[in-house]
Chains A and B, each alone.
Chain A
Amino acid sequence: QKEVEQNSGPLSVPEGAIASLNCTYSDRGSQSFFWYRQYSGKSPELIMSIYSNGDKEDGRFTAQLNKASQYVSLLIRDSQPSDSATYLCAVIDSSYKLIFGSGTRLLVRP
């Protein structure tokens, strides 16, 4: 069973700090990697996609991919209370299916 693992949290950080969210995946043939943000009661919103090893920055968000270690992370700089949500890691595996982790709940304390 191909899996995407995330710590369920909650991860609690003070306002202005860097939040670091991590995800590991089991299928070494996975090719595309995504981070979605989901507010309580709402649908997931795509915030980052990354396809090759290294870092990808978009505003306050940085996605990091390490295929050799099979992990992908999301850094949120200058965290704001409005960033409080559940962050879902999703991976397109070697059979071209999008597999979701169960999410990490982030709490940003004012």
Chain B
Amino acid sequence: DGGITQSPKYLFRKEGQNVTLSCEQNLNHDAMYWYRQDPGQGLRLIYYSQIVNDFQKGDIAEGYSVSREKKESFPLTVTSAQKNPTAFYLCASSMAGALYEQYFGPGTRLTVT
């Protein structure tokens, strides 16, 4: 089955700890994205990558970091510098080129206390 997987589904952390969210896809998509969704709000772009070993900041990159060492994988680290990390994190992928549809993984719900 082709698709995007994210793990874990739920994640709980104490304030001050870094945490890494996993995203893997087997759709052979070149582009991958990380979004954050807060209750009652639209999705906001954190980081995106159009090709291996290259990525760009989105609208709310502060307090986050990413890597793209493999085409299939795009992990997101939420650092202790992120002021309000509790949110629903969504990974997406698309074919190369900016006009294509993005497909989403199931998401990771992060709670930081």
Instruction: Count contacts on A: residues with CB < 8 A to the other chain.
Output: 23
Secondary structure at chain B's binding surface: helix, strand, loop or mixed?
A: loop
B99, A43: Cβ atoms closer than 8 Å:
no
Interface string of B65-103 (1 = CB under 8 A from A): 000000000000000000000000010000000111111
For chain B, the count of residues having a C-beta within 8 Å of the partner chain is: 19
A34 to B105, CA, bound (A): 17
Bits for B40-70, please: 1 = Cβ < 8 Å to A, else 0: 1111110000000000001000000000000
User: Which residue numbers of A lie inside 8 Å of B, CB to CB?
Assistant: 4, 8, 31-32, 34, 36, 42-46, 49, 51, 88, 92, 96-103
A42-B107, A44-B90, A45-B104 given. 15 additional CB < 8 A pairs?
Answer: A8-B40, A31-B99, A43-B90, A43-B106, A46-B101, A49-B101, A88-B42, A92-B98, A96-B99, A97-B58, A99-B42, A100-B43, A102-B40, A102-B42, A103-B42
